[in-house]
Amino acid sequence: MAEEHNNGHKWTMIVDVDKCTGCQACVVACHAENNVPVSSEDEVIRGRAMHWIRIERYWEGEYPDVKARFLPVFCQQCGNAPCEPVCPVYASYHSTQENINIQVYNRCVGTRYCGNNCPYRVRIFNYWAPRFDAPLEQQLNPDVTVRSPGVMEKCTFCIQRIRRGREQAKIEGRPLEDGEIVPACAQACPTDALIFGDKWDENSRVAQMVPSERQFKLLENLGTEPAVYYLKGGEAHVGE
Amino acid sequence: MLESRATVGPYWERPLPDDEHLARQVEHGREELLMLDARPPAELNQLTLARMRQTGPRFWMAVAGLGVLTLAFFTAWAIQIVSGLGITGLNRSVMWGPYIANLIYFIGIGHAGTFISAALRLMRMDFRRPIARAAETITLFGLACAALFPIIHVGRIWKLFYMMPIPNQRELWPNFRSALFWDMMAITTYLIGSTLFMFVALIPDFAMARDHTTGWRRKVYGALSLGWRGTDAEWHRLEVVSNILSFVIIPVMFSVHTGVSWNLSMAIQPGWHSAIFGPFFVVGALYSGVAAVILVMIVIRKTMRYGYFMREEHFNAMGIFLLILTLSWIYFYFAEWITNWYGNLPMEKAIQAMLTGPLAPLFYLMLFCNIVVPLGTLWSRRVRTSLPAMFVIGILVQVGMYVERVLIVAGSLSRNELSFNWVNYTPHWPEVTVTVGTLAFLGLLYMVFTRFVPIIPVWEVYEGQAMQETRRVGRAVVSTRTEVH
Amino acid sequence: MADFLLLGLFDNVETTADVIDEVRALGVQDEQMMVMSNVPYPARFFARKPARLWFLPFVLGGAALGALVAFFLTRVTTNIYPIEVGGQGLHPVPPTAIIYFEMVSLFSMLGAFASFLLQNRFPILTRRMYDERITDGYIGLEVRAPLAVAEQVVSVFEAHHARVIKREDAAAFKPQGIRHLLFWGAVGAGGLVAVLIPLLLTYDIVRIPWINKMDDTVVVGAQEGTRLAAPAESVPVQGPVFIAGEPATAPLPATDVSLQRGQMLYGTNCAMCHGMQGDKVGAEVGKYFPEIPQSLGARAAILSDQDLFRVIRLGKNRMPGLAENLSPGETWDIVNYVRGLGE
């Protein structure tokens, strides 16, 4: 069922791959904002790196003509999310206000079906109790739950910032302005490669950038209807 | 007990024909076929109950061995609950591994039980008579062990009751659109249905046990037999309820393993999203189930001295059944393989490349166990009636089918559309301990069960023997079967 | 006239059928006879009418109940709490069909089993005429007849070489009546109680402390205990105080006017807990707030003016912040007064 254009918002992220340098500032910012624990080297080798946003790096060609391509991948907040119908306890559902995919930590029992069904593999499972070595536990964001072992988590488009922005606008009795809500990754990006906004607001940056010639969606043929648009034109190679 | 002066005696005292040639044929028939070898039920009842009353030292050694492995299983599980699932080999791409493969495997081996007791009953196949309950017991305990695995593999066991539709003050209900919920419904239905079906058929045998035991055993069997006397009204109702339950439980049986396979095929994961998984898994379940029944038959026949009940003819029939299932399994697997191979879609090609590449030892082991060994041997009646050979074939089929499930579950997950996320899976000690321990647990439950509950449905054997006879046609003696219903 | 119950055990179907014919000829009705065996012989082997069966209403009733449960799970739960998932809509047909299939199957099987138990009146809790050798393969015939006929029936039994003959007064066997219904009623009541116990928990009527590893994280209790002191010289201790959202304020000089005002304000706002001399109020308050310092003056001596200002305005642990009650000027007055409190 297509998302209905209601009184809510259609939060959308635009990733300008041509501008992304692969600096991973977004990754660090996300860890800091969302209380994502840092995985040890052993865990990463075992394939358990916990990143809500990650820079996928693909090498092309043979030395000395090697080219690297960067792709920031995070939860695409699919309109037709394959992770939602498979959760037996409704821990993963579609918000009709923000039109993104919500993960409810205290409802999750940890069957991990959603993680299997995500073609982007952006869903992270807490195999261990998240560890924050001192003094990092003093740095935790009080707006975001610290998860327990056995629950799934993923990028939420910094929903805590979205909610706070909406509350603030409501208290002040005015509509939300474009650019008022910025997720941590977009805020940290030095090249402005991540642009966030409400697609249903015609004046927003994202609404104006969406109909671009360079636009594509990740794994669009699967029909998941992601809320993330990637922009890439020509040959965006590093060091060229 | 008065001596009978009647001229016609009970059905187990049929005299041999006078003609020596015919008499020899009748004797030969009695040696070969259980249905022709009617003996006094008094004797057979004692035979059935004999090993249930006495246990030798080897029984206790087996119990000890299986008990140790079971204990290891539960310890590993407890450690996993406390430490978190991190001690397993699962990772961010392969989130389902041997625990789900075990779930599929244990439910699978239970399907043969229902098929043998329900479907073969409706098809009026006599070879099912002595083995039906042994097969159903595998179903019962297989399901019980399988039901442990959703609990083992889940991240937060203490919140697992969220999956059950219990009214609560938050008015939250489980998601019926999830394949895991269908699974829960299907397994519950199947478990309850199988238990009812098995219990109903057990009532006359509990009555027999009640009549031939003393002391606490007598009281327990008396309670379990609900006061059964074997009146014609009681039998009539038993037959009808068995028919109803058989008719309903066969579609349920199909739906259970189809539902389990839909846990996989409802996902859009390449290698999983295949329409053929439903029937494929049902046939695979029957395949591993029948092989498991053969293994159990061999063990029971030896340890409980039921050589009278389980004869060459039964192993022969089960061997033919196994061969048919081998061919069916090959057909489905080949259909799946050639579809993926011919279509050349990149994701499916990647998975097949992995199966024939890094995972080749497991893949070819599976093909060897599931195709080469059964196809190469089960054609021969000599093999089918040789207990050591059938034991080996049964074990190999179990291995092959288990490997097949692991390859599908954990193998496919390690390959998906974004190749940055390809992570291979290696099992760690908890998975191995839990798998081996659960098999031991199943064996332990089974062993203890056979000492309390008559594992041969003797009333069905007597029913067959009472209704079957020999008849002379020309110079030969043939067996006849009477359709009573 | 007292009835007798007679039991005869015979070798095979033919003999038993013959006996039944002859007993019928003596005037005994079909309903007064019962055949018992260890294998199912159809009633027509003995020219008897098969028993009436009552399966259909139970099976259909079970199926209806199952459909009701499935309706609840698929339609009603999503109407109580509608949650959108993955573009499927609230009532998709294929999953609904599966749930209906499973529940209808389950409850029709339960209905058939319940009907089986009820028709047979299981469990039979009264004594019945029986012989153990029936499970050894002999066919038993139970006949209920008055005394005169009973003797004739016994002779028929003997004529057909019965293996066992039993005769007992029918009054020794009490009818089953509704005993089995009472039994299942008790089981049902027990089951109902067992089913209701989880509801006590899910409706929070009985609260038991349950495992919740969410409060196992580092977050819980991270801010409790002694507040970390800022590293030396990292926080300016001179000059104006900066509090987010407020203009910066600089300390006021400790003039007499300021001290007097400070004493008045202290008496109104602080003395109830800290005591007029900063020596902590009496035993009752002290019992509930053990962390109030015994000597405010001594504590204040180790803090800077800016720290005191912040503590009064923002609060500390359980001490409430008085930002809403006091203007910055008034706060500085209290700071000056507290500075003057002795050890």
Lookup: tokens for B63: 């119990």
Specify whether the CB–CB gap between B206 and B224 falls below 8 A.
yes
Name every chain B residue with its beta carbon within 8 A of the beta carbon of C14: 8
Q: Which helix (H) or strand (E) holds B43?
A: helix B41-53
Q: pLDDT under 70 in chain B at which residues?
A: 1-7, 485
**Any C CB within 8 A of B214 CB:** no
Tell me the whole-structure pTM to 2 decimals.
Answer: 0.86
**Any B CB within 8 A of C125 CB:** yes
- pLDDT(A118) > 90: yes
pLDDT reported for residue C229 = 65
To the nearest whole Å, the CA of B423 is away from the closest chain A CA by 6
| Spatial distance between the Cα atoms of A77 and A95, rounded to a whole number of angstroms | 10
Choose the mutation target among A126, A133, A137, A224 for the interface with C, i.e. most C CBs under 10 Å. A137
Kindly indicate the confidence band of residue A236, based on its pLDDT and cuts at 50, 70 and 90: very low
Residue A133 resides in a domain: yes
**Any A CB within 8 A of C229 CB:** no
Give how many domains chain A has, as a whole number: 1
DSSP per residue, C25-89: HTT--GGGEEEE-SS---GGGGT-PPPP--HHHHHHHHHHHHHHHHHIIIIIHHHHS--B-TT--
A51: left (phi over 0), alpha (psi -120 to 50) or beta: beta
Give me the sign of the Cα torsion angle B297, B300, B305, B308: negative
| Spatial distance between the Cα atoms of C108 and C112, rounded to a whole number of angstroms | 6
Task: Give B 31-60 residues with CB within 8 A of chain C.
Answer: 40-42, 45
Which CATH fold would you assign to the domain B90-165+173-425? Formate dehydrogenase/DMSO reductase fold (1.20.1630)
pLDDT reported for residue B106 = 96
**Any C CB within 8 A of B248 CB:** yes
| Spatial distance between the Cα atoms of B202 and B225, rounded to a whole number of angstroms | 8
Lookup: tokens for A179: 């650019």
* Nearest CA-CA partner of B277 in B235, B234, B340, B219: B340
Measure CB to CB from residue A116 to each of B84, B85, B267 and give the nearest one. B267
Indicate the pairing of strand A228-231 with strand A11-16: parallel
**Any A CB within 8 A of C231 CB:** no
Burial C22-36 (b: 16+ CB within 10 A, else e): bbeeeebeeebbbbb
pLDDT reported for residue C227 = 64
Lookup: tokens for C132: 């153990």
ipTM of the complex: 0.93
Kindly indicate the confidence band of residue C252, based on its pLDDT and cuts at 50, 70 and 90: confident
Choose the mutation target among C68, C79, C90, C120 for the interface with B, i.e. most B CBs under 10 Å. C120
Kindly indicate the confidence band of residue A239, based on its pLDDT and cuts at 50, 70 and 90: very low
DSSP state of C246: S
**Any C CB within 8 A of A92 CB:** yes
Residue A240 resides in a domain: no
Task: Give A 124-153 residues with CB within 8 A of chain B.
Answer: 124-129, 148-152
**Any B CB within 8 A of C159 CB:** no
Lookup: tokens for C230: 């800022």
**Helix (H, G, I), strand (E, B), or coil: what is residue C10?**
strand
- Contacts of residue C79, defined as CB under 8 A and 6 or more positions apart, other chains included, come to C90
To the nearest whole Å, the CA of C89 is away from the closest chain B CA by 10
Name every chain B residue with its beta carbon within 8 A of the beta carbon of A219: 417-418
Lookup: tokens for B102: 């075990």
* Inter-chain residue contact C216 with A2, CB threshold 8 Å: no
pLDDT reported for residue C301 = 84
| Spatial distance between the Cα atoms of B404 and C179, rounded to a whole number of angstroms | 54
- Contacts of residue C29, defined as CB under 8 A and 6 or more positions apart, other chains included, come to none
Specify whether the CB–CB gap between B429 and A65 falls below 8 A.
no
To the nearest whole Å, the CA of A58 is away from the closest chain C CA by 30
The residue type found at C229 is A
Q: What is the pLDDT of residues A69-109, one digit of tens each?
A: 889 999 999 999 999 999 999 999 999 888 999 999 989 99
| Spatial distance between the Cα atoms of B194 and B105, rounded to a whole number of angstroms | 18
**Any A CB within 8 A of B242 CB:** no
Choose the mutation target among B1, B176, B183, B224 for the interface with C, i.e. most C CBs under 10 Å. B176
C275: left (phi over 0), alpha (psi -120 to 50) or beta: left
Indicate the pairing of strand A215-216 with strand A67-73: unpaired
Specify whether the CB–CB gap between C143 and C160 falls below 8 A.
no
Mean pLDDT in chain C?
Answer: 87
**Domain membership of residue A33 as a residue range:** 11-231
Partners for C (CB, 8 Å, 3+ pairs)? A, B
Specify whether the CB–CB gap between B111 and B277 falls below 8 A.
no
Specify whether the CB–CB gap between A14 and A3 falls below 8 A.
no
Residue A196 resides in a domain: yes
**Any C CB within 8 A of A143 CB:** no
Kindly indicate the confidence band of residue C86, based on its pLDDT and cuts at 50, 70 and 90: confident
**Any B CB within 8 A of A105 CB:** no
Lookup: tokens for C315: 């609060």
Q: What is the pLDDT of residues A189-215, one digit of tens each?
A: 999 999 999 999 989 999 999 998 889
* Nearest CA-CA partner of C305 in C327, C330, C336, C277: C336
- Contacts of residue C330, defined as CB under 8 A and 6 or more positions apart, other chains included, come to C261, C265
Neighbours of B29 (CB within 10 A): 16
Residue A239 resides in a domain: no
Burial grade of C43 (CB within 10 A; 0-12, 13-18, 19 or more): middle
Task: Give B 219-238 residues with CB within 8 A of chain C.
Answer: 223, 226-238
* Inter-chain residue contact A117 with B267, CB threshold 8 Å: yes
pLDDT reported for residue B431 = 95
Q: Taking chain C, what is the end-to-end CA distance rounded to the nearest angstrom?
A: 111
Helix B277-303 to helix B312-343 angle, to the nearest 10 degrees?
150
Specify whether the CB–CB gap between B97 and B89 falls below 8 A.
yes
Q: What is the pLDDT of residues C18-75, one digit of tens each?
A: 999 999 999 999 999 999 999 999 999 999 999 889 999 999 999 999 999 999 999 9
Q: How many CA atoms lie within 13 A of B370 on its CB side?
A: 30
To the nearest whole Å, the CA of A10 is away from the closest chain B CA by 25
- pLDDT(A1) > 50: no
* Nearest CA-CA partner of C219 in B192, A144, B229, A119: A144
Ramachandran angles phi, psi of A93, nearest 5°: -145, 175
Kindly indicate the confidence band of residue C234, based on its pLDDT and cuts at 50, 70 and 90: low
Name every chain A residue with its beta carbon within 8 A of the beta carbon of C78: none
Q: Taking chain B, what is the end-to-end CA distance rounded to the nearest angstrom?
A: 32
Measure CB to CB from residue A49 to each of B92, B416, B419 and give the nearest one. B92
Burial grade of A104 (CB within 10 A; 0-12, 13-18, 19 or more): middle
**Any B CB within 8 A of C35 CB:** yes
Q: What is the pLDDT of residues C109-149, one digit of tens each?
A: 999 999 999 999 999 999 999 999 999 999 999 999 998 89
Residue of chain C nearest A105, judged by CA positions: C214
* Nearest CA-CA partner of B228 in A203, C98, C135: C135
To the nearest whole Å, the CA of A202 is away from the closest chain C CA by 25
Q: What is the pLDDT of residues C140-194, one digit of tens each?
A: 999 999 988 999 999 999 999 898 899 998 888 888 888 889 999 999 999 999 9
Residue A2 resides in a domain: no
- pLDDT(C230) > 70: no
Ramachandran angles phi, psi of C295, nearest 5°: -130, 110
**Any A CB within 8 A of C83 CB:** yes
Kindly indicate the confidence band of residue C211, based on its pLDDT and cuts at 50, 70 and 90: confident
| Spatial distance between the Cα atoms of C119 and B234, rounded to a whole number of angstroms | 8
DSSP state of A195: E
Specify whether the CB–CB gap between B9 and C12 falls below 8 A.
yes
- pLDDT(A228) > 80: yes
Kindly indicate the confidence band of residue C297, based on its pLDDT and cuts at 50, 70 and 90: confident
| CB–CB contacts below 8 A, B to C | 228
* Inter-chain residue contact C217 with A94, CB threshold 8 Å: no
Neighbours of A57 (CB within 10 A): 12
Helix then strand then coil, % of chain C, to nearest 5: 50, 10, 40
Specify whether the CB–CB gap between A185 and A159 falls below 8 A.
no
DSSP state of A39: P
* Inter-chain residue contact B416 with A119, CB threshold 8 Å: yes
Task: Give A 45-84 residues with CB within 8 A of chain B.
Answer: 46-50, 54, 56-58, 71, 73, 82
Q: Structural domains in chain C?
A: 1-213 (no CATH), 256-341 (1.10.760.10)
| Spatial distance between the Cα atoms of C72 and B167, rounded to a whole number of angstroms | 12
- pLDDT(A240) > 70: no
Partners for B (CB, 8 Å, 3+ pairs)? A, C
To the nearest whole Å, the CA of C81 is away from the closest chain A CA by 11
Choose the mutation target among A109, A148, A151, A222 for the interface with C, i.e. most C CBs under 10 Å. A148
- Contacts of residue B237, defined as CB under 8 A and 6 or more positions apart, other chains included, come to C51, C53, C55, C116, C119, C120
Residue A1 resides in a domain: no
Give me the sign of the Cα torsion angle C197, C200, C201, C202: positive
Name every chain A residue with its beta carbon within 8 A of the beta carbon of B177: 85
Q: What is the pLDDT of residues B169-198, one digit of tens each?
A: 888 999 999 999 999 999 999 999 999 999
Lookup: tokens for C83: 């949650």
Task: Give A 210-229 residues with CB within 8 A of chain B.
Answer: 218-219, 222
Kindly indicate the confidence band of residue C343, based on its pLDDT and cuts at 50, 70 and 90: low
Kindly indicate the confidence band of residue C87, based on its pLDDT and cuts at 50, 70 and 90: confident
What is the maximum alpha-carbon separation in chain B?
A: 88
| Spatial distance between the Cα atoms of A130 and A84, rounded to a whole number of angstroms | 24
Neighbours of B148 (CB within 10 A): 19
Lookup: tokens for B390: 């059938």
Residue A192 is part of a domain; what is its CATH number? Answer: 3.30.70.20
* Inter-chain residue contact C85 with A132, CB threshold 8 Å: no
